[in-house]
Structure 1
Amino acid sequence: MLLLFGAFAALVAALLGLCFYVFSAYVMYRIGDKFGIGSFFEFLIPFYNLLLLCDCAGVTRWTAAAMAFAPFAALLSLFARGAFRSVVLCSAAALFIFSWGYLWGSVARRLGKNFLLWGASSVLFGGIPVLFLAFDQSLPPRR
């Protein structure tokens, strides 16, 4: 009976994770749609969705590479010893935080909003400011 409950809990957790991923892809799609970049199915592809967001923000795709590399660097630090482990972990966290704030601040700037305010708030509050960017009525200026 306990094994059945554990399997059910794992299934529910996997479904919740899948729902969260699809919702976050939809949020990224909404931002991409404002810029005319990508389709919903393209935003479902891991890592490629970050590349599309870099195109929306008008920043280099190395920003997406930095965001993708940071978790792997944190995993690699598990094999490190002593002070080197904390240096790698802190560097990976700093790289991710900077890239995250820079990406969303640049998206906000292209939508006519304050770069520093939206970049810092996305770092402090995670994805909540991103929801405002995706679902508000702001559009990039027409050229």
Structure 2
Amino acid sequence: MFALLFGAFAVFAVLVLIFGIYLFSAYVMYRIGDKFHIGSYVEFLFPVYNVMLLCDCAGITRWVTAGIAVPAFAASALNFFSFGLFGGNTGYLVSAIFFFCWVYLWGSIAQRLGKNFWLWGILSFLFGGLPVLVLAFDGSLPRRR
């Protein structure tokens, strides 16, 4: 009985932790959006729409959102329905599309905040959220075009 309760508590704790991380990541994206006067915190809570708002912050087309969200879903669906026939090459293509769109999005945001495009784009891919935290919480403001 104790093991069952402990397991249920562990699952609940993991779900609360995941939800907390999601709320914090939405807040980080909101902080970036607030620098550009785009969106509210509630708008950044919607999973795909928040990337669209970040594209607006970066001054790039919203089609980059498709390059970030769609490849993983498409590769998973292809692998599932084709019984792994498209496994190897599709995975590389999907990774390349995602890598390009991710670097382009965060590099463009960094450039609009007065930072180096390539440095911040590559760093955001390699180190995940750490450079994004710096972009969100530093004192940089957008440059005028």
1:128 aligned partner, one-letter code: L
1:6-25 paired onto structure 2 within 5 Å: 6-25=7-26
Aligned mates of 2:8, 2:91 — CA distance in 1: 33
Contact 2:64 2:105 in 1 (8 A): yes
Q: How many pairs are equivalent?
A: 143
* Two-structure CA RMSD over aligned residues (Å): 1.4
How many angstroms does 1:66 deviate by?
1.1
1:135 maps to what in 2? 137
How many angstroms does 1:59 deviate by?
0.7
Contact 2:31 2:137 in 1 (8 A): yes
Q: Indicate the SS of the match to 1:113.
A: coil
Aligned mates of 2:55, 2:61 — CA distance in 1: 6
1:127 aligned partner, one-letter code: G
1:41 aligned partner, one-letter code: V
Residue deviations 1:14-65, cap 9 Å, x none? 1000000000000000000000000011101111100000000011101011
TM normalised by structure 2 equals 0.92
Q: Indicate the SS of the match to 1:105.
A: helix
1:17 aligned partner, one-letter code: I
Moved more, 65-74 or 115-124: 65-74
5+ long unaligned stretches in structure 1: none
How many angstroms does 1:106 deviate by?
0.3
Out of 100, 103, 119, the position equivalent to 1:101 is 103
Out of 93, 115, 134, the position equivalent to 2:117 is 115
Contact 1:74 1:88 in 2 (8 A): yes
How many angstroms does 1:91 deviate by?
1.5
How many angstroms does 1:82 deviate by?
5.3
1:44 maps to what in 2? 45
Contact 1:104 1:119 in 2 (8 A): yes
Q: Indicate the SS of the match to 1:40.
A: coil
1:82-93 paired onto structure 2 within 5 Å: 84-93=86-95
Aligned mates of 2:132, 2:36 — CA distance in 1: 15
* 1:54 and 2:55 aligned: yes
Aligned mates of 1:65, 1:41 — CA distance in 2: 21
5+ long unaligned stretches in structure 2: none
